[in-house]
Amino acid sequence: MSLIYHTPLDAETQAAFGLDPPQPLAMADRVRFSEIDALHHVNNVAYMSWFERMRIRYMQDWGISGYDREDDPRIVIRSGAIHYRQEMVLDEDYIATCGCTAWRNSSFSLKQQVWSGAVLRTTFDCVIVLLQPDGSGKYAIPAAVKKRFAAVDGAREES
């Protein structure tokens, strides 16, 4: 089975490439030369870029933001922790993932991962806060999004 780049991968494809358990959103790509540093492995900044691309796609697919509407919330990373587990090199195929683990009224926790060769290489856990478009206050997560967090991601509401 070959990877299809830049397209959400179904659970069966994720499992075939070693992701356990399959994630709510997963997409494949390949390490580019521009992402390599002087030590010949992926630069730390590249991982953050990969995670950002997945978060943007996630926000669009889950209906949180289209990044093109006046009433879209401001999306702010309140906090985050990255864990580099194993280096990656040029031309490696990888799968980046994104999924919600928990939510509150206007914030939610995301778990993101990068897998390559059936090995978890890097993780990024962050808390996202939604603000009003003008930044004036909190923006409540819509009920349909909360429902999708629970049904698709297996996330839970926190009090």
Q: Is 129 a domain residue?
A: yes
In this prediction the pTM is 0.94
Q: Is 98 a domain residue?
A: yes
Under 8 Å between Cβ of 75 and 59:
yes
Q: Is 89 a domain residue?
A: yes
How many whole angstroms separate alpha carbon 133 and alpha carbon 126?
21
Query: Is residue 10 over pLDDT 80?
Result: yes
Q: Is 100 a domain residue?
A: yes
Q: Is 1 a domain residue?
A: no
Amino acid sitting at position 132: Q
Q: How confident is the model at residue 141 (pLDDT cuts 50, 70, 90)?
A: very high
Host domain of residue 97: 11-157
Quick: pLDDT tens for 20-65. 899 999 999 999 999 999 999 999 999 999 999 999 999 999 999 9
Q: Which one-letter DSSP state was computed for residue 130?
A: E
Q: Is 103 a domain residue?
A: yes
Q: Is 122 a domain residue?
A: yes
Residue 144, both tokens: 């349909």
Domains held by the chain: number: 1
Quick: pLDDT tens for 65-113. 999 989 999 999 999 999 999 999 999 999 999 999 999 999 999 999 9
Pairing of strands 156-157, 93-103: parallel
Under 8 Å between Cβ of 3 and 93:
yes
Q: Determine the Cα angle at 120 with ends 115 and 121, to 5°.
A: 80
Q: Is 6 a domain residue?
A: no
Residue 16, both tokens: 């075939």
Domain holding 32: CATH number? Answer: 3.10.129.10
